[in-house]
Every structure is written in C-alpha cells, then in structure tokens.
Amino acid sequence: MQIADATPGTLFAYDETSLALDGEELLGIVVRFHGPEFVRRRKALPPLWKPLIESGEVSTEDLSEIGQRTHLCSYLNCAIASVVYYIHALAVKESQRGKGIGTKLLNHAVERGKAAGFRGLHLDVLSDNPAVEFYRSKGFECIVQSVVPEPLANGVPMEMRMAMGF
C-alpha cells in the first residue's frame, strides 16, 4: 500500500521517517516529529480514505470499525508538549533485534531533536511491550500511565508516556 508513503504530512509519512537499511533490506524504522504536529498529521489522513475504498483495498465498513476503535484508544495518548520531539513509531525487524539498530535509530531521533532545539524526546508505548525495558535502558522514564476502561476490557494494556530530557 503506497498511498501513505506518497503523502507527506501524515502520521506515517516519509517526510519525518528514517530507515535502517542493509543494502536494500529494511532493518528498522523510526517515525518522529515535533510534538504538536500529531493533530495536524492525524487530520491529514482522511483524504487517503477515498482512494483506499475506490481501490478495493479497504471497505467503508472496515474504515468505520477502525475509526471507532481508534477513537476509543485515542484517549490513551495524552497531549504532546510543544517543546519536545516525539517518536511516533520505532521498529526493528525481529531477526535484527539486539544488534544495535534500535539504538542507532533512537540516537538519530535524539540528534534531530537536539539540532531542532527541543528540550527532550517523548514516546508512547504499551506497557506489555518488551521495548519498555529498551527505552528505560536508554534513559527514558515513565511520566504518564494511561488506562481506558473499554479498550482495557478488550485486552489493550496500559499505555506509558516515556520521556527523555536533553
């Protein structure tokens, strides 16, 4: 699905994405941006829906269900301060974990945040994710714990806002 990749300014757009590559093999990815951009980037997604529906990749019912679930879980994310750089996603291919790729991607985000004059780096992670310990080992601390009753009742664990100052 190339639509999100070809649309700058959305939550998973290439304009704020760094890739860890070995030749042409994707090893890992980090998506980050200035914290307050989150709302603008989320609002940039709806124009993508019509082409997805028209292509037959997604139905209106699918998007409606995703929208309802997203709305329920959206309360997990607290506001993102204007003075921080925000990691929206950091992932390393399972077979490549433990080789320092995540550290390199994280360090790259830190460098970008510092160079842009931000005071720190924030990210959100579900409490059952093994990455919590990785982030702690890199100096992140949990500053907020969020639980939303309906998602929790359906198996969505507590979310943690983790932060690192510069």
Would 109 be classed as within a structural domain?
Answer: yes
Per the structure, the count of domains in the chain is 1
Residue 70: C-alpha distances to residues 6, 24, 53, 151 (Å): 23, 33, 18, 10
Q: Measuring CA to CA, which residue among 159, 119, 131, 155 is closest to residue 143? A: 159
Query: Does 49 map to a domain?
Result: no
**SS3 assignment, position 89:** strand
Domain with 157 in it:
18-37+77-165
Angle between helix 46-55 and 60-74 (nearest 10): 150
58 found inside a domain: no
CA dist., res. 65 & res. 68, Å (int):
5
CATH code at position 33: 3.40.630.30
- 80 neighbors 163 (Cβ within 8 angstroms): no
* Domain-embedded: residue 6: no
Q: Tens-digit pLDDT profile for the chain (166 aa)?
A: 233 345 678 887 888 899 999 988 999 999 998 888 888 888 888 887 888 888 888 888 888 887 777 776 676 777 888 999 999 999 999 999 999 999 999 999 999 999 999 999 999 999 999 999 999 999 999 999 988 887 788 888 899 999 999 9
Residue 48 lies in a domain: no
107 within some domain: yes
